[in-house]
Amino acid sequence: MRRHYITIKDIARELAISVSTVSRALRDAYDVNPKTREKVLAKAVELNYKPNFNAIGLVQSQSHHIGVLMPAITNYYFSTVFTGIEQVANANGYNLIVFITNDSAEREQAILQDLSLSSLDGLLVSVSSQADSYAHFEELIRNGIPVVFFDRVADAVLTSKVMQDDYHGAYEATQHLIDQGYRRIAHLAGPDGLTFTHKRRKGYEDALTNSGLSVQFDWIIHSGFSQECGFEDVARLWELAEKPDALFAVNDRKAIGAMLALKERKVQIGKEVGVIGFTNDPMSQIISPTLTTVAEPAFEIGKISCELLLKHMTRKNVEAQEVILPARLIVRESTRR
């Protein structure tokens, strides 16, 4: 048999008071006697009463559901962001509904087209790397659904955004390689259409220029974010007559793929070719040599993006904010000569 869940009718029957009085007591309404409120709350705990957010939503036009749309959840970065989101959502009585795009723009649009506007109170988004249009997000906002972007953001959409400091993180990573004596520095970049790809490339290029080094465009390769992409990027670079003596990868997975490709070619990592990543994935401490990287504040990005979304959901006329959190250089063995 299906379990009977405690309702406000059960609490009212136990206390011999009206259902409306129980409802107002649970909502902390001003017109309920304090002693009655205490009795209702105590009985609710005793009976293990759980509020029915679907029923509440019908009355208040709220679902108590927040959507999270992101490219993946299995990698370290996005799972850590999601943990931060979940902590804030749970503390405020919201459930999360996760939509995974697998980094596909078509999948992203299909999810949003099938989305029931009444099923969500707000949406947190990290866009697909293949996306070339953000009109679907603008339409959501016009329809009254608050949207906040995190990490991979849509610059053209006027709403709040939370991200790490990609420019300065990339600048510091490249400057570290220069300080270690590397001069022929390649960049294993992300997909060309993403905002943070451009910011990390700009940080890389400015660090080279400000140190009197020329930017070699043959040494800048745009591809995906996977370990396989990093491996393939090195294969392309090693076909060149002049090869780089250092690699700055857009993330740790690409950096690790690059290290595996270098090992296959009997290249000594650090001594002959320095490698630096961006994320501080746990794998960066396991691989040998350990990987120098730029740590991203993933958990904080999740927390702050959810806190911002709650503001947009619960207050009127909240101005869009752009929150940029600092990244942090972590020096390990892969950049020691």
- What are the per-10-residue average pLDDT scores of the chain (337 residues)? 71 91 83 89 86 51 85 95 97 95 92 80 92 84 93 94 98 98 98 93 98 97 97 98 98 98 98 98 97 98 98 92 97 97
Task: Please tell me the predicted confidence (pLDDT) of residue 31.
Answer: 83
Distance of CA 57 to the CA centre of its chain: 27
Locate CATH 3.40.50.2300 in the chain. Answer: 63-164+298-325, 166-296+330-335
What global pTM score does this model have? Answer: 0.81
Q: Give the contacts of 215 (CB within 8 A, at least 6 positions apart).
A: 205, 208, 209
Q: How many CB atoms lie within 10 A of CB 214?
A: 9
3-class SS of residue 334 = helix
3-class SS of residue 320 = coil
Sheet with 274-276, strands from edge to edge, namely: 220-222, 185-189, 246-249, 274-276
**CATH of segment(s) 63-164+298-325:** 3.40.50.2300
Task: Please tell me the predicted confidence (pLDDT) of residue 24.
Answer: 85
Task: Please tell me the predicted confidence (pLDDT) of residue 26.
Answer: 84
Q: How far apart are the C-alpha atoms of 6 and 199, rounded to whole Å?
A: 53
Q: Please, what is the Cα angle at 152 between 102 and 107, to 5 degrees?
A: 30
Task: Please tell me the predicted confidence (pLDDT) of residue 244.
Answer: 98
Distance of CA 320 to the CA centre of its chain: 18
| Per-position DSSP letters for 193-238, written without gaps between them | T-HHHHHHHHHHHHHHHHTTPPP-GGGEEE--SSHHHHHHHHHHHT
Residue with tokens 């129980």: 22
The CATH class, in words, for 166-296+330-335 is alpha beta
Strand partners, 123: 67, 147
Task: Please tell me the predicted confidence (pLDDT) of residue 59.
Answer: 46
Superfamily of domain 8-51 in the CATH hierarchy: lambda repressor-like DNA-binding domains (1.10.260.40)
- Check if the beta carbon of residue 262 is closer than 8 Å to that of residue 233: no
Locate CATH 1.10.260.40 in the chain. Answer: 8-51
